[in-house]
Every structure is written in structure tokens, then in C-alpha cells.
Amino acid sequence: MKNLSQHKAPIMEALNNFKQMRVVPFDVPGHKRGRGNEELTAFLGEKAMAVDVNSMKPLDNLCHPVSVIREAEQLAAEAFGAKHAFFMVNGTTSAVQSMVMTACKAGEKIIMPRNVHRSAINALILSGAVPVYVNPGVNRELGIPLGMAVEDVKQAILDHPDAKAILINNPTYYGICSNLKALTELAHEHGMLVLVDEAHGTHFYFNDALPISAMAADADMASVSMHKSGGSLTQSSFLLINNEISEGYTRQIINLTQTTSGSYLLLSSLDISRKNLSLNGQEIFRKVAEMAQYTRDEINKIGGYYAFSKELCNGDTIYDFDITKLSVHTLNIGLAGVEVYDILRDEYEIQIEFGDIGNLLAYISVGDRRLDLERLVSALAEIKRRYQKDKSGLFDHEYITPQVVATPQAAFYAPKEKLPIHDSAGRIASEFVMAYPPGIPILAPGEMITKEILSYIQYCKDKGSFMTGTEDSNIEYINVLKESEQ
């Protein structure tokens, strides 16, 4: 292996060299460096179009990298403390699916919390792996699912000693962290692999004051959304492997579903962002944490809102908290989080990450300015003054423990019928229902539909949550298993 320097960005450097070669393109893409699509070039810029190119010898090949992409992978692995890092251009969804499919074959069990992102359950549909769900802890006051209790995972391992792996969300969308080190050691003691969905934890690798990262905790695989807090372009992520996970086999699994036409815009954005974080991450995320804390303090001075942080830590289901996350509970002003989300966007031109029934999340990053944070605080104060009402009648919790009747794959592909959703109680779902973001299913294929779940779905719709998952785009009908299949 050549000497690595985190000051290098091999993919970017190869693209710059390529631009100077004045190559005549008789290959794809057909826009030919932008000349064939003037409107798109005017919109995106000549510089972007000039590097939207195809794989070729000077630029390497994502499916089987041997030169510049290979070197960029090695630099990323060093930066993240991993054995190897794969560049993912189908998003962290693809990375999560690749983790599950690398660890588990059809019929093999995987232990996971039920509040996983839909990509993890999609991986079960694709692979035929069988979930063993551990219900997360729940904070009833805030209405949010927490991490997995160590004792609950230990019991799941004892009940299912043949499970191949355990999947852990770390952190959750809200910033909640499980006891990652203890869970990893527990799984390894029983011969199970540890897979970590770190979609919201890129920054853990680059600042010592933040919670422990998956690789530092000795996990076997982690999927990292570099585009969320790491600064790369949307849809670009890393899949990290560690310990005895095979690089070659993992790449074969990735290549089952990842595009063979990897975008060099995405690849170079990963390469450049890794360089930036490896050189400047400590200071970048010190500033981000400082901005988040300032905003938390100001919001809590308003009254009614509760911007929560490390004071929630309990040593188990909230083992640690991501202090860069600005999560705010809104129910005490009589408004659902999604209602505040809509008011901020529609009346104040402030776009936050998401709002659910009880909370909202503003994503703070190095790109934010103090002036913008003050504008958010002022808007929240004004919303409270203008719209505050009695909180009675609001849902007091977010997470409903599902009744799992069939595996996701069996239910998704089973003979099914379409019912009006309000008539579906007592039947088994054959598809998802979820609010997006965050994309955590309220119902997943194979789960019993209950009156409680239906009430919650209707409540989400009434409050304006963006609902998705069903074939019916209006979520008025739902596919269920035929009676003979139940």
C-alpha cells in the first residue's frame, strides 16, 4: 500500500487531471460534458457537467477499484479507523442493505430494534433474513423510542443463540445512543456480528467530545451517511467494515444492488469531504456542538418547548446523547411537532429536518450561521405566542409495539388483497405505512394491524405528516394478507 496522506483527495485529483487531457468523448453520458444539454448545464454549471463522466482507466471503476478509487477507499478507512471503507452512491439505504445481506443469508436470524429505518426491513424482504425484534425503550413524556436495553438484547441472544448478527441504531434520529460498547462485546461473546446504522453519526468519528463511534466500539460493519453531517452530496455514504469481515465478499454483495455507473460527482464529494473532516473535524464539530447548545439554551428560555440533551442519559437505553442534535419537544405548547414544522416552513421560510407527533428536529451543521439560529429561536417564540393552545387531546406517545406474525419477506410476497384502511384491524399488513421523514415504519409487512395503530395513522394524517409506504398514495387503502394466508 502506498503511503497515505489525508491531505490527498485522489478522485478529485484524477478528475482535475482528466479535465486537462481534453479527451474527445465517444462514451456515455450522452450530454458530452454538458454540450448536449444546454439548459441542464446552465442550471448545474459547466464545472459540474465536465466531471459527470463514465468510468475509464484514468478514473478507475467503482465496482472493481484498482487505482484512484482504491486509494480513496484506503484513505477513508484510515480516517474512520476501519479495516476498509466502500464508497456508496445509492445512499445509506444501500449500505444498510449490504450490511444485512453480507451478515445473513435467507432464513438466518438477525436481532434488531423495531424502530429501524425502512431500509433495514427492506433488506429482510430482499434477503429473506428473519428479524428478531427487540423493542426499544420508550420515553413516554417525550413520545420517542430510545436505544435497546442491554438486558433486553441479552435475553434476545439467549432466546435466539442461532442469530447471526445484531443491528443497532446509533444514534437515533433524535440523538439517542445505546451502550454501543457493551452491546458489541455481548454480541461478540456469543459469536454474532455487530452491524451499526450510523446514518446520523458521521461526526462521531471526528470529534473526541462526541459519543463513541461504531469502529471505535469494535463493531463489525457500519453504514455512515456522509451527506448528512459530513458535508458530501446527497445520496453519498460510506460502508465501513472491521475485524474479520471479508472485503471481497462485501464488495460482491454491494455490487448486487449498487449501480454500475457510479456518479463521479458523488464519489468526489465523498473524497473531498473525508479530507476536510480528517484535517478539520475536531474544530468543525466543536463549533457545531457549541451552536446547538446555544440554540438549545435559547429555546428553553422561551418556555413551553423542551430542547433536550444529555440530562436524559440513564446509563442504558439513553447511554449517551449526540449534543449536535437540536431535538425539541413541542406538545406542552399544544402543538404537534409536525404542526410547528409546517408553520416554520409556510410562514417563516425556515426548513427544518422533520417534525413528528411530539417533536421536531433541526439539523445543525458547519454550514449554519448564528444569525440563522437566532431567526429560528425568534420564530419559535412567535409561534408559541400566536398559536399556543391547550395540550389536551394530543397523542402522548409515539412508539407502538408491533405484533409480528410473519417475516417481512413472506408477507410482502404473499397473496394479498386491498382493503379500506379503516376496515383492516385484525388483518396482517403486506406493506409499509410510515411517516417520512424519518422513515421508521408504523406498520411493516408481516405485522398485525390494530385499532391503536389505525388511530395513530389517522392522527398523523390529520396533523399533516407526510405518509408513505402503501401502493395507494393517499393511504386510504392497504394491502393485507388474504384470509387463507393468515
- The stretch 116-140 carries a mean pLDDT of 91
Q: Would you list the DSSP string of 171-191?
A: S-TTSEE--HHHHHHHHHHTT
Residue 397 pLDDT = 58
Q: What's residue 465's pLDDT?
A: 82
CB 277 within 8 A of CB 284: yes
Can you give the length of the chain in residues? 486
The reported pLDDT for the residue numbered 100 is 97
Q: What does the pLDDT average to over 426-430? A: 96
Amino acid identity at 313: C
Q: Which amino acid is at 371?
A: L
The alpha carbon torsion through 479, 480, 485, 486 (nearest 10 deg) reads 170
Average pLDDT over the chain reads: 94
Q: What is the CA radius of gyration of the chain?
A: 23
SS3 content of the chain, % helix, strand, coil (to 5): 40, 15, 40
Q: Select from 229, 213, 225, 203 the least CA-distant residue to 361.
A: 229
205 near 284, Cβ under 8 Å?
A: no
Mean pLDDT lowest for which of 80-89, 216-225, 388-397, 448-457? Answer: 388-397
State how far the Cα of 371 lies from the Cα of 91, in Å rounded to an integer: 31
In this prediction, residues 180-200 reach a mean pLDDT of: 98
Please give the pLDDT value at position 486. 65
- Identify the pLDDT of residue 180: 98
Q: What is the pLDDT of residue 2?
A: 60
Type of residue found at 205: Y
Q: What residue ranges define each of the domains in the chain, with the CATH number in brackets?
A: 281-387 (3.90.1150.10), 408-485 (3.90.100.10)
Residues 6+ away with beta carbon under 8 Å from 405? 411, 428, 446, 447, 448, 486
Q: What's the mean pLDDT in 104-110? A: 96
- Cα separation, 199 vs 459, whole angstroms: 28
Whole-number pLDDT of residue 485: 65
DSSP letter string over 380-448?
HHHHHHHH----TTS---------B-S-HHHHHHS-EEEEEGGG-TTSBBSS-EEETTT--EEE-TTBB
- The pLDDT of residue 114: 86
* Eight-class DSSP state of 56: B
Within 208-260, residue ranges assigned H as helices are: 226-229, 247-257
**pLDDT confidence of residue 145:** 87
What predicted TM-score, i.e. pTM, was given to this entire model? 0.94
403: number of Cβ within 10 Å? 12
Query: What is the pLDDT, as a whole number, of residue 165?
Result: 98
Helices 370-387, 264-302: axis angle to 10 degrees equals 50
List CB contacts of 373: < 8 A, sequence separation 6 or more.
291, 294, 295, 298, 364
Q: At what angle do helices 247-257 and 91-103 cross, to 10 degrees?
A: 130
pLDDT over 70, % of the chain: 98
Per-residue pLDDT, averaged over 60-83, amounts to: 98
Cα–Cα distance, 213 to 198 (Å, whole number): 8
What are the residues facing 176 on neighbouring strands?
321
pLDDT tens-place string over residues 72-102: 999 999 999 999 999 999 999 999 999 999 9
Q: What is the DSSP code string of 188-220?
A: HHTT-EEEEEETT-GGGGS-TTSPPPTTTTT-S
The answer to whether the beta carbons of residues 93 and 224 sit under 8 Å apart is no
Checking DSSP bridges between strand 237-241 and strand 221-224, what pairing results, if any? Answer: antiparallel
Residue 157, pLDDT score:
98
pLDDT digits (tens, 9 = 90+) for 143-182: 888 999 999 999 999 999 999 999 999 999 999 999 999 9
pLDDT given for residue 476 in this prediction:
93
Q: What is the pLDDT of residues 281-340, one digit of tens each?
A: 999 999 999 999 999 999 999 999 999 999 999 999 999 999 999 999 999 999 999 999
